[in-house]
Amino acid sequence: DQQVKQNSPSLSVQEGRISILNCDYTNSMFDYFLWYKKYPAEGPTFLISISSIKDKNEDGRFTVFLNKSAKHLSLHIVPSQPGDSAVYFCAAGWAQGKLIFGQGTTLQVKP
């Protein structure tokens, strides 16, 4: 059973525009959610997180929104830059520290 799903395998946006990456989850017991970015031949790099008691967290160009009633979270990148091109993973976790990852979305930002 896939508890965390990223239904869009890929996304292409123009430089300067907004990128919106989506993630759905099924387990309402998750305590927190994170977004990671991954370049080829590197490990995932932490981007931003949000606690289950919040609905928004912002860090520079990155904002994560959490809609608990819909069991949905999204990552907004504004403005998008070519260097943002990578695979983005959402992950959900419990207090026990185990993370459940989605399948990833490949973002391409065109100059």
Using the minimum distance from each CB to other proteins, give the nearer residue, 17 or 56: 56
- For residue 100 the two structure tokens come to 């459940």
Give, as ranges, the residues between 79 and 98 that touch other proteins (CB under 8 A). 89, 91, 93, 95-98
| 91/89 Cα distance (integer angstroms) | 6
Using omega within 30 degrees of 0 as the cis cutoff, is the peptide bond preceding 79 cis? yes
Using the minimum distance from each CB to other proteins, give the nearer residue, 86 or 93: 93
- For residue 75 the two structure tokens come to 């990552």
Query: Which distant-in-sequence residues (6+ apart) come within 8 Å of 51 by Cβ?
Result: 31, 32
Give, as ranges, the residues between 33 and 52 that touch other proteins (CB under 8 A). 34, 36, 41-46, 49, 51
Using the minimum distance from each CB to other proteins, give the nearer residue, 10 or 14: 10
Bridge partners (DSSP) listed for residue 90: 35
Give, as ranges, the residues between 4 and 33 that touch other proteins (CB under 8 A). 4, 6, 31-32
Q: Rule CB under 8 A: which residues touch other proteins?
A: 4, 6, 31-32, 34, 36, 41-46, 49, 51, 89, 91, 93, 95-104
